[in-house]
């Protein structure tokens, strides 16, 4: 599938901002199953003080500084992406889940690179409750693919999707307490549950192409950013699962960045210098199939 993506982030203030410094993770990744045909990122006000670099995990980070006084900062990322979807070997998914833990696989060349994703992180703490929750699906010797998919399905069933229940700083304990959240929270919960048993799981940010209800036209700009989790499968790559929608990631998903959790790869973060008392944030995302 080919998609044209538009992601606009607009910050508005009630007084001038004299200096704005930021980092944006808005450039989709080039991957074996995902080709970046074209991409662009426009800042308004325009600035020459911007650069791109690859971070530790290979994500494209755009660094910028806007020193022209402004009350509105507009960041528009556009791209055209071709996605085929990642394929997995049934044999690799059938190994016991215990054998998929990086610490147990010194025989696999890239196992050491995945260790970072088996550790706790600030938004995916390996709590006692998370460990117990995952243990119900991780019976001894159970195939890793089967076990991971069941954890995904249970999270989708047991936790309600509620945009008002959480924030970007919500913890794993908060998610269990409220039994609700959004895609970011369900990804973090998946990370916490599976990492607590030694599996390597990364947080993935990107987009999901949606389809309108039958008989309805597609609403331009009504899409949103999305998040899911991907579990390391020795010698086979990463099995990406979406607990929000209870499905394996396929060619409807566009990968932008990955890290230990949301804090590693937010769409935009930064600091400003201003005497403004009020600010607003507006985000518009459109994922259009071509």
Mean pLDDT for 77-83 is 98
Domain positions in the chain are 2-83+266-289, 90-263
Kind and range of the H or E run holding 71: strand 70-83
For 262-275, how does the pLDDT look when each residue is reduced to its tens digit (9 = 90+)? 999 999 999 999 99
In this structure, whether the domain defined by 2-83+266-289 belongs to CATH 2.60.40.2250 is answered with yes
41 DSSP β-pair partners: 77
pLDDT(84) > 50 = yes
Name the more confident of 217 and 3: 3
Rounded CA Rg of the chain: 20
257 DSSP β-pair partners: 205
At residue 108, the pLDDT reads 93
pLDDT band at 26 (very low <50, low <70, confident <90, very high): very high
- Give the span between the Cα atoms of 13 and 190, in whole angstroms: 36
At residue 80, the pLDDT reads 98
- Model's pTM, two decimal places? 0.94
For 150-192, how does the pLDDT look when each residue is reduced to its tens digit (9 = 90+)? 999 999 999 999 988 888 889 999 999 999 999 999 999 999 9
Report how far apart, in Å, the C-alpha atoms of 278 and of each of 17, 73, 100, 258 are: 12, 14, 49, 32
Q: Longest Cα pair distance anywhere in the chain, in angstroms? A: 61
The third-level CATH classification (topology) of the domain covering 90-263 is: C8orf32 fold (3.10.620)
- Give the span between the Cα atoms of 10 and 22, in whole angstroms: 13
Average pLDDT, the chain: 94
For 199-245, how does the pLDDT look when each residue is reduced to its tens digit (9 = 90+)? 999 999 999 988 766 666 655 545 889 999 999 999 999 999 999 99
Q: Do the domains at 2-83+266-289 and 90-263 have one common CATH topology? A: no
Mean pLDDT for 247-260 is 96
């Amino acid at each position: 599938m080919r998609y044209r993506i538009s992601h606009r982030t607009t910050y508005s203030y009630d007084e001038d901002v004299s200096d704005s410094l930021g980092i944006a993770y808005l450039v989709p990744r080039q991957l074996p199953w995902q080709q970046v045909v074209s991409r662009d990122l426009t800042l308004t006000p325009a600035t020459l003080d911007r650069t791109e670099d690859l971070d530790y995990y290979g994500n494209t980070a755009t660094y910028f500084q806007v020193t022209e006084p402004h009350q509105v900062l507009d960041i528009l990322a556009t791209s055209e992406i071709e996605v085929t979807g990642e394929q997995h070997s049934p044999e690799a998914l059938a190994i016991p889940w215990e054998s998929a833990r990086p610490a147990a696989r010194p025989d696999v060349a890239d196992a050491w690179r995945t260790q970072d994703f088996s550790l706790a992180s600030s938004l995916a703490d390996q709590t006692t409750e998370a460990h117990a929750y995952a243990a119900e699906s991780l019976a001894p010797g159970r195939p890793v693919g089967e076990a991971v998919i069941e954890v995904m399905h249970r999270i989708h069933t047991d936790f309600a999707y509620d945009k008002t229940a959480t924030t970007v700083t919500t913890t794993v304990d908060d998610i269990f307490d409220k039994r609700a959240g959004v895609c970011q929270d369900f990804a973090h919960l998946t990370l916490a549950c599976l990492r607590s048993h030694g599996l390597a799981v990364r947080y993935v940010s990107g987009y999901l192409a949606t389809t309108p209800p039958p008989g309805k036209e597609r609403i331009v700009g009504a899409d949103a950013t999305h998040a899911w989790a991907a579990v390391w499968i020795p010698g086979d790559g990463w099995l990406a699962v979406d607990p929000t929608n209870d499905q394996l990631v396929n060619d409807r998903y566009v990968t932008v960045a990955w890290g230990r959790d949301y804090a590693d790869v937010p769409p935009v973060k930064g600091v400003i210098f201003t005497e403004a008392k009020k600010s607003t944030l507006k985000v518009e995302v459109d994922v259009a199939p071509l």
